[in-house]
Amino acid sequence: MSDLRVRFAPSPTGYLHVGGARTALFNWLYARHFGGTFILRIEDTDTERSTQESVDAILQGMEWLGLDWDEGPFYQTDNFPLYKQHVQKLLDEGKAYRCWCTQEELEAKREAAMAEGRKPKYDGTCRHRQDQPLDQPHVIRFKAPEEGETAFDDLIKGRIAFPNAELDDLIISRTDGTPTYNFCVVIDDALMRISHVIRGDDHVNNTPRQIQLYEALGYPVPLFAHVPMILGSDKARLSKRHGATSVIAYREMGYLPEALNNYLVRLGWSHGDDEIFSRPEMIEKFDINHVGRAPSVFNPDKLNWLNAHYIKTSEPARLAELLKPHLATRGVTDTAAPDLAGVVATLQERAQTLEEMAERALFYYQAPQSYDEAALAKFDKPHLAAVFTAVAAKLTAAQPADAAAVDALFKELCAEHSWKMPQVGQPVRVALSGGTQAPGIGEIVLALGIAETVARIERAKNRVA
């Protein structure tokens, strides 16, 4: 299927959100699986709402997810002359007509139809109109078939048919001469030789109108696959109130692109009971025929679980680079000492997001200014002073080279002073990090270095004396 050609065609009226990202991913995977072509098209004909900021955000989101395109990005506004040519072609062939009905007249027709229990569709008043006041404002409508049905075999939903009597004469050119969405899409897909249209199922009702336009213009009709919507936990359409946000916001929240890709591919698609897929595995196993017909429910906990998995299994050096912006927002810009990759190695086992990791990493770069008083209150001051003195001396003398050696040193101290490990470990952890929720003592000491570790212990001893 090397002639397979698919496209992702976002409208630049907002950021790239979860639903759009999943559509892009499905198209990208389908093209990569079959060795086809993935095209990016920006549908910017809504000139009032389209912005360059949104275009930039879409491109940035695609690049972050690694969804590279083979052709494009193309912009619909560059094709206005082509659209006008196709409008004229339909007029010349009697397949389209001018409509002078005013907005007030159309609203009156709509209300009358609804009052009579009819579908509020355009009644074709101008379809056979003989007087043509070309100097008056008008739109151009497609002359849709009035009998029979328009049907297609959806690759996900199966056969779908629409009675033509229910489809009205679609406006293909507005009063100001600008083409409409459904018309532009057909021209673009036809000229780009799109073989498969994979998109959200909110477009199902557009499909019969588009099929009619393909056929009227003499273009081959592509195959369609309509992906079910993504819902929130309350089964309503996913929105910001469910925690959904832009793709770039997920990056800022500390998610890894591979985690979000893995999560998105499982929203509607499955391969047995597998949950974790590497990029090559997704490409190898993805097929649109395995996308389910039921809507998917967005589960933030599942995304966090996947993100934690990818953080846990990533190289510390790579995570260190990704972590730097998250630390910078917290005032940490110099991560040379202690070594950030070493810090990451102490935290990645327990972190769900990079934001969480950055928060937990702060104590490495900002010595605690206060201590968990409740934790220290479990021990009397003489004991704390004795522990801090003994640990500082032992570390200075032994200079342990790895976390295991540090742990062994603490066991020696406990044996020498008849202390239990919590009686030593907890006060030292508080001295080094300010609290009790921190990595193992050995890991902390190794990352901080002996000199900084001893300095912090001495500072804590002076504070609690």
Task: Tell me the catalytic residues.
Answer: 240
Residue whose entry in the numeric block shows the structure tokens 């742990």: 407
**DSSP conformation class of 11:** -
Name the region of 15 (left: φ>0; alpha: ψ -120 to 50; beta: rest).
beta
Report residue 149 CA to chain centroid gap.
38
Angle at 221 between CA 215 and CA 226, to 5 degrees: 125
Report residue 122 CA to chain centroid gap.
39
> If you compute the radius of gyration of the chain from its CA atoms, what whole number of angstroms results?
32
* Residues paired with residue 246 on neighbouring β-strands, in sequence order: 17
**DSSP conformation class of 202:** G
Instruction: Say how far apart CA 97 and CA 129 lie, in whole Å.
Output: 9
DSSP string, 153-183: EETTTEEEEEEGGG----EEE-TTSPBPHHH
Instruction: Say how far apart CA 388 and CA 8 lie, in whole Å.
Output: 61
- Give the per-residue SS3 of 42-95: ECCCCCCCCCHHHHHHHHHHHHHHCCCCCEEEEEHHHHHHHHHHHHHHHHHCCC
Cβ neighbors of 169 (< 8 A, separation 6 or more) are: 97, 99, 122, 124, 127, 141, 142, 143, 144
For the record, the structure tokens of 126 come out as: 């101008």
DSSP string, 245-284: -BHHHHHHTT--HHHHHHHHHTTTB-STT-----HHHHHH
Helix (H, G, I), strand (E, B) or coil at 317: helix
Contact 422/428 with Cβ under 8 angstroms? no
Burial class (CB in 10 A: 0-12, 13-18, 19+), 232: middle
